[in-house]
Amino acid sequence: MQVVIIGCGRAGAALAHRLDIEGDTVGVIDVDPAARLRLPPRFRGRFVHADGMHTEALEKAGIDRTDALAALSGNDSLNVVIMRIARERYRVPHVVGRLHDTDAAPVCADLGLAMVTSVRMTVDRVHRMLRHRRLEPEHTFGNGESLLVRSGVPDYLAGRHVHELDVAGEIQVVEVTRAGHSLIPAPGSRLRNGDLVSFVVAAGSLERLRGFLGGRLT
């Protein structure tokens, strides 16, 4: 895959490095010539010192043949403008970008641009960790509507059927780790002390799951 990255800050450089290791052809653009130093010494891709909004710079970085563009500069408006140039002028098939805050989010929604909003992501994640201390999500699906969480089984649940914990459309047990071995629970299997259970849970039902694990099985 060929990828153009706008911005060689921490995120841009880290993504460039990872894609380079994975064998992709990477072109990175940054207005600051010193940003090149963030790339690893053995980086095989191209660094273009220029304003990413300039078509000449984009072309130097390979936008004519690229499969994807990631706009990761620290300037939200710039990311939006460049993403649109990539999509509409160069017909880049896959265009993604980052927003630091939500000011430009309505414009992106209107233009149908796929954005990762770093402040919102951080707040969601930290909020979840604060609220659900014992239930740290291992993985989130979609925009965080469903989560994968793991938890030890409290004593009072030992001996109960695994699927007593399921709530249709809200909570689903998907896996149990017992003495270091993972198993997918069959109908009728029972929980034992020391089990580590994986749940897929709707974000709005985390409180309910916490209630179960804290001693309320309603």
What residues make contact with another protein under the rule CB under 8 A? 51, 53-54, 56, 75, 77-78, 80-81, 84-85, 88, 103-104, 106-107, 110
- Specify the residue, 105 or 148, whose C-beta has the smaller distance to another protein: 105
Name the minimum Å distance from CB 69 to another protein. Answer: 16
Name the minimum Å distance from CB 28 to another protein. Answer: 19
- Specify the residue, 89 or 131, whose C-beta has the smaller distance to another protein: 89
Name the minimum Å distance from CB 119 to another protein. Answer: 14
- Specify the residue, 96 or 167, whose C-beta has the smaller distance to another protein: 96
CA–CA separation, 114 and 51 (whole Å): 22
Name the minimum Å distance from CB 20 to another protein. Answer: 28
- Residue (of 124, 32, 28, 105) closest to 70 by Cα position: 28
- Specify the residue, 89 or 160, whose C-beta has the smaller distance to another protein: 89
From residue 22, give the alpha-carbon distance in Å to each of 3, 17, 26. Answer: 12, 9, 11
CA–CA separation, 126 and 32 (whole Å): 32
- Specify the residue, 109 or 184, whose C-beta has the smaller distance to another protein: 109
Residues 66 and 29: beta-carbon distance below 8 Å: no
Name the minimum Å distance from CB 51 to another protein. Answer: 7
Start-to-end Cα distance in the chain: 51
Name the minimum Å distance from CB 79 to another protein. Answer: 8
Residues 201 and 141: beta-carbon distance below 8 Å: no
Residues 98 and 74: beta-carbon distance below 8 Å: no
- The DSSP-derived string for 160-177 is SBGGGG-BTTTEEEEEEE
- Specify the residue, 75 or 140, whose C-beta has the smaller distance to another protein: 75
Dihedral (CA of 62, 66, 70, 71) sign: positive
